[in-house]
Amino acid sequence: MTEITPLDQAHAGMEAAPEDDSARLRFFERLAESELFLMLAEDASDDDQITPEVFDLGDARYVLVFDREERLSRFADQPTPYVALSGRVIAGMLAGQGIGLGVNLDVAPSAILLPDTAVAWLKDTLDHTPDEVAAHIAEVFPPAGLPESLISALDGKLATAMGLAHCAYLVGIAYDSGARGHLLAFVGAVPEAQEALAKAAAEALTFSGIEAGAMDVGFFRASDPLTASMERVGLRFDLPQAQEPVTHPVAAPGSDPDKPPRLR
């Protein structure tokens, strides 16, 4: 039986409801989070420079990615160099290059050609970071009126943020200015991980089809007075914690988001 992958399922949902923006956003979210196998023109160099195989279709150029190694092999029908990278890394590499993305062409129901404008949009969306809370919080109360799609998206995002914070609370808030809204409050976050956590929250909003201003992000210590209030009224997300010391094997090209492979 042919495997139906999560990317296939997200693509099918988008195709079944072409007017549904949320279905389209779910596809792009899945694409960004998937490990994709990028076809190369030659093996990656020792200094992490890679040369993707670029296909010129006359009015546009594309590189090819597949969400399974066997799909790439079936398409190429011969030994072909490749590198495994996340969709978000590939979007960042291609943005501004005038190169689109061919996904699972000829080998899967999720086959699609994404133009360079779509790749640039995805990169810009993934780069967005919400402003952190700066105003004084006067009151916290239970969250209300947020769609279940956002709760599910946050749960999925934070489930992958192992060890980056102790937990997070989603609460309703009132500022001393009189403004009201919602806050995702991270407790005990690793300082170096705060930007990544804020981006994860922003992506959950964007890919749920909700305006960015619908939720603020804040970082708190367990000893902060507001933390106890949020514990009483908020929706809690427990982030997974590492149970054993983390080892650091030699990294493959693109596995470090701060040092993505370079095109050449």
Q: What is the pLDDT of residues 15-33, one digit of tens each?
A: 999 888 888 988 999 999 8
| Confidence band, pLDDT 50/70/90 cuts, at residue 248 | very low
SS3 46: coil
Parallel, antiparallel, or unpaired for β 49-52 and 262-263?
Answer: parallel
| H-helix segments, the chain | 6-16, 21-33, 69-76, 87-94, 116-127, 148-158, 194-207, 225-233
Burial of 157 (0-12, 13-18, 19+ CB in 10 A): buried
Length in residues, the chain = 264
Among 33, 88, 122, 96, smallest CA distance to 254 is for 88
Class of domain 137-238: alpha beta
SS3 122: helix
The DSSP H or E segment spanning 174 is: strand 167-175
CA distance 130 to 87: 21
The pair of three-digit structure tokens given for residue 114, joined into one six-digit string: 């994404």
Can you give the residue ranges of every domain in the chain? 6-127, 137-238
The DSSP H or E segment spanning 85 is: strand 82-86
* First-residue to last-residue Cα distance in the chain: 39
CA distance 134 to 142: 21
CATH code, 6-127:
3.40.1350.90
> Is 215 within 8 Å of 235 (Cβ atoms)?
no
Give yes or no for residue 35 having a pLDDT over 50: yes
Q: Which of 50-64, 110-124, 196-210, 250-264 has the lowest mean pLDDT?
A: 250-264
The pair of three-digit structure tokens given for residue 235, joined into one six-digit string: 């929706």
Q: In Å, how far are 33, 55, 200, 240 from 156, measured between CA atoms?
A: 11, 35, 10, 12
> Is 40 within 8 Å of 53 (Cβ atoms)?
yes
Residue 101: what pLDDT?
96
The pair of three-digit structure tokens given for residue 217, joined into one six-digit string: 């992000």
Q: Could you report the per-residue pLDDT of 38-79, keeping only the tens digit for each?
A: 999 988 776 778 899 999 988 899 999 999 999 999 999 888
| Confidence band, pLDDT 50/70/90 cuts, at residue 241 | confident
How many Cα atoms occupy the beta-carbon half-sphere of 102 within 13 Å? 18
Whole-model pTM over 0.75: no
SS3 187: strand
